[in-house]
Amino acid sequence: MSEFDLIRRLTAGARTRRDDVVVGPGDDGAVMAVPPGHELVLTTDALVSGRHFPADTPPADIGWKSLAVNLSDLAAMGAEPAWITVALVLPEHDLDWLTGFMAGFAPLLEASGAALVGGDLTRGPLTVSIQAAGLVPAGRALRRDGARPGDRIAVTGTLGDAAAGLADWLAARHPVDEHDRFLRDRLTRPAPRLTAGRWLRDRASAAVDVSDGLAADLTHLLAASGVGGWIDPAALPASAALRHRLADADRAAAQLSGGDDYELCVCLPAAVADVAMTECPDGLTVVGRVEAEAGLRLAGPDGSMQAWQGTGYDHFPTGG
């Protein structure tokens, strides 16, 4: 089977159709019609074997996660997924791997409402690069630079599960109960908070996708907004599985800096925070507050504040 036969297999496995796709896969480029009154949101991520996922990750999980991390970026901006392109680098011709990849990729694509409109396939170290395009009403995209002093800092879902799942995987600890399986699924099959992102679009003042760890990603948001803030580690939402797996101190570390959560961290004006906590899809927990003083601080049980000294994931650390 040739490269082009494999590409046809890839695109045939993703059947979502949209009326705004003028030219889809098979030409030199895709042509899409942006609806009047909307703006285009673009994001892209590359996932490399051994760097972003263990080398023995099942291809279906790679297919799901590679799309999910991009959809999560769209969710953080309140965008509706529309069009997807995929570039696959495979170490060898492997139809079984590609079929497995599509078994994870295609269901999430269909659920998102986006269409696969093109891509590329080449030989090399296993890498999956996806570009996702979304639509948002003009002037209404959620951004990182809108937080203001007094805003409440909140997160969707729960934090730290993926970090615990990865630690188990790297320790060759196989899932043995429902807690183990939950943590592993949170690592390999994250759920992009698309519905919550759209709901928050006209309520939150700023938002960021939590991928490199809550503390690191929130620090980026606060810096973009020219403000600071604090969070209470004791208030971070934790799943029953994480509470079962980790003691308090280890749990807080995983939640603050573990990464791979793909939840949303948002800043909410105080006037809407209480309503948002009860009505936001996917759940919302207030964990801190925005302040004028720059930097991120952690609140202690005695009310003291300590500057956050950690870092998030960095592909090119200084001296590395």
Is 209 a known ligand-binding residue? yes
- Tokens of residue 140, six digits: 């209404």
Closest Cα to residue 147, out of 274, 8, 296? 296
Residues 253, 176 contacting (CB under 8 angstroms): no
Q: Is 52 annotated as a binding residue?
A: yes
Query: Annotated binding residue at 232?
Result: no
Non-local CB neighbours of 231 within 8 Å, separated by 6+ positions: 153, 214, 215, 218, 287, 288, 296, 297, 298, 299
Residue 166 backbone phi and psi in degrees, to 5: -70, -40
> Is 49 among the annotated ligand-binding positions?
no
Residue 132 CA to residue 138 CA, distance in Å, equals 18
28 is in an annotated binding site: yes
Q: Is 44 annotated as ligand-binding?
A: yes
User: CA-CA distance, 62 to 102, in Å (whole number)?
Assistant: 9
Q: Is residue 163 within 8 Å of residue 258, measured between CB atoms? A: yes
Nearest to 259 by CA among 163, 156, 158: 163
The answer to whether the annotation marks 211 as part of a ligand binding site is yes
The DSSP element (H or E) to which 290 belongs, if any, is strand 284-291
Instruction: Check whether 27 is labelled as a binding-site residue.
Output: no
Instruction: Tell whether 313 is in a known binding site.
Output: yes
Q: Is 314 annotated as a binding residue?
A: no
The string of DSSP codes covering 6-73 is HHHHHHHT-----TTEEE-BTBSS-EE-PPTTEEEEEEEEEEEBTTTB-TT--HHHHHHHHHHHHHHH
- In the DSSP assignment, the letter for residue 224 is H
Q: Would you say 244 is a known binding-site residue?
A: no
Instruction: Return the bridge partners of 167, or none.
Output: none
Give binding residues as ranges: 28, 43-45, 52, 73, 119-120, 144, 209, 211-212, 260, 313
Give binding residues for Mg(2+) as ranges: 28, 43-45, 73, 120, 209, 212
Give binding residues for ATP as ranges: 119-120, 144, 211
Give binding residues for substrate as ranges: 52, 260, 313
